[in-house]
Structure 1
């Protein structure tokens, strides 16, 4: 049975955001049998991913559900007994894309090969306050000579895409691996260079991918540098030392994300830490129980999400091909679900 209830104040309180930031949405209470492929998934793998971040959930029933999950119950039974699927829609079409953790070559000291720095955030930048744009930073050389460099890498295009991803690993010349994470930004809104190439007529919508954009920038160095400046956002990094090499990068919940089990979502609609059933269409359809453990500046909307594909070039190629429709359904504790969609509402 599908039940519908319209509100935004309840959801806003649930995700701890200000009501004026959460547009009105429609909620439909579903049954687990409504989820295509639900019975075929590896629910134990999803439970392991849920456990990575559930200790961060302190509100309502989440804390007690986390304690129960730590006893390692039968995973499928656990989700079906204590959660209800809720479809959240805001009138916009669903869109699912992919992201990954890049792996770059770098050095702790500058050399003729390694001459493109990754920067820490300058101390004068205040959170929420716009600072210099990407163009202004580059044209005024505002960051160099200030001791803000974490390391130097060999490809400025890779630096740009590392900023889009927000985290990555640097394979250093001494054989060690350094992981870097998001350390702040210049407070400017992200602007898509892929959309700009489409607007200019260089490519059509179905041709654009991260790899296509990178190749175009490298083939056209002067125009490419100017294209990158179309995005005024500039991301700074920090060194991440507490994450084992075998685990994924740190997400928005300050815990490692998991390959093909973590989603980046819009927390105005989907609570961070919540299980989310994903039905992604496209050439490589995906039916899987994920966990909302990350966010992204381009992830806006109730049915908008990024799928984490892992680390390295292969993961990057897979992530870059994904731009598909479908739907996602958030699993909420029973009482929370019925507070949004009272039983009996049609």
Structure 2
């Protein structure tokens, strides 16, 4: 729904210049598209660090806000958080480092449905060939059961299965080796099975209450119930495969293939929000009513991010970011900012 700038909650309180580096990162990809080239050229002309008022005028002159609506239609949706974790690992397997971090399996097929059905361009299937049939790829439980029989490289070995699980949920992270060096890994592919929340599984089993089912709460339950660890992990059939990335001080690379910006990047459902687009997000801080309203860039996606009014807020790297991300499950509203004359995706 097209909106006015005055109706965008929190727009006048935010500093849009703080999102400028993220905007320029998006434009490094979007400028190739005719609809985006003029606004990206205009952004480039303002340099790398315009003032707050200059940045605000730029957006108000070049963009139109469209309020995103969910089913109902509802103006509010779920806003969660994610971050780039640091876990401990090794290049070689040992008693301490026993949990494999896999690369993409050689026998996994990726079928792009949009190649045959254009209306399904955002959907793909993963499978494996058995005889003359294509079957679904292995679930998490089956991947782990196959062990060394899985035709996938082992990039590294982690020392903690829960830390590795949450690294898979986040989609990227850093691994600290025994010699102190750090390796960065990022999402390469996924086994095609839908993501299922282990927090919701624990709540449904009566093991945790809803307010206890945070990342910290799940980790405490796992430490207290080591004999049920695999049962809990296998409740999520989705399994993420990684690739090793160059080490840098920039954020992890998202689905747009640009580094994410702490506090200014979100993951979205690309069926409703074009990758790279600016979005104004109006939500609250974790476990709080304190407003968190700011301009962000849609630079990532996630298997659990489904729907128009749905965002995953990138908190950055490390333990503090992890605490905020693990507690974040807020309601929020979203306005998609598109160049004048451009229409939102139709569903």
What's the TM-score once normalised by structure 1's chain length?
0.85
- Give the match for residue 30 of structure 1: 3
Mapped pair 1:100 → 2:122: no
Query: Structure 2 vs 1, CA of residues 339 and 220 (structure 1 numbering), >3 Å: closer, same or farther?
Result: closer
- Give the match for residue 254 of structure 1: 257
Task: Tell me how far 1:339 sits from its aligned partner.
Answer: 10
**1:222-241 counterparts in 2 under 5 A?**
222-241=227-246
- Give the match for residue 329 of structure 1: 335
Q: Is the 8 A contact 1:121 1:183 kept in 2?
A: yes
Q: Is the 8 A contact 1:188 1:234 kept in 2?
A: yes
Give 3-state SS (helix, strand or coil) of 1:263's partner. Answer: strand
- Give the match for residue 13 of structure 2: 40
Q: Which runs of 5+ in 1 are unaligned?
A: 1-27, 341-346
Query: 1:49 pairs with 22, 26, 33, which one?
Result: 22
Task: Tell me how far 1:338 sits from its aligned partner.
Answer: 9.2
- Give the match for residue 107 of structure 2: 124
Mapped pair 1:210 → 2:215: yes
Counterpart CA distance in 2 for 1:287 and 1:255 is 23
Task: Tell me how far 1:142 sits from its aligned partner.
Answer: 4.9
- Give the match for residue 287 of structure 1: 293
**1:165-180 counterparts in 2 under 5 A?**
165-180=170-185
Counterpart CA distance in 1 for 2:27 and 2:85 is 26
Q: Is the 8 A contact 1:167 1:181 kept in 2?
A: yes
Q: Is the 8 A contact 1:99 1:308 kept in 2?
A: yes
- Give the match for residue 67 of structure 1: 41
Counterpart CA distance in 1 for 2:183 and 2:38 is 37
Counterpart CA distance in 2 for 1:143 and 1:272 is 37
- Give the match for residue 306 of structure 1: 312
- Give the match for residue 17 of structure 1: none
Q: Deviations over 1:7-47 (max 9, x none)?
A: xxxxxxxxxxxxxxxxxxxxx21111112221221211212
What's the TM-score once normalised by structure 2's chain length?
0.85
Counterpart CA distance in 1 for 2:331 and 2:345 is 29
Q: Is the 8 A contact 1:36 1:279 kept in 2?
A: yes
Q: Which runs of 4+ in 1 moved over 6 A?
A: none
Stretch deviating more after TM superposition (256-265 or 182-191): 182-191
Q: Which runs of 5+ in 2 are unaligned?
A: 111-124, 127-135
Counterpart CA distance in 2 for 1:63 and 1:305 is 26
Counterpart CA distance in 1 for 2:160 and 2:166 is 10
Counterpart CA distance in 1 for 2:156 and 2:340 is 48
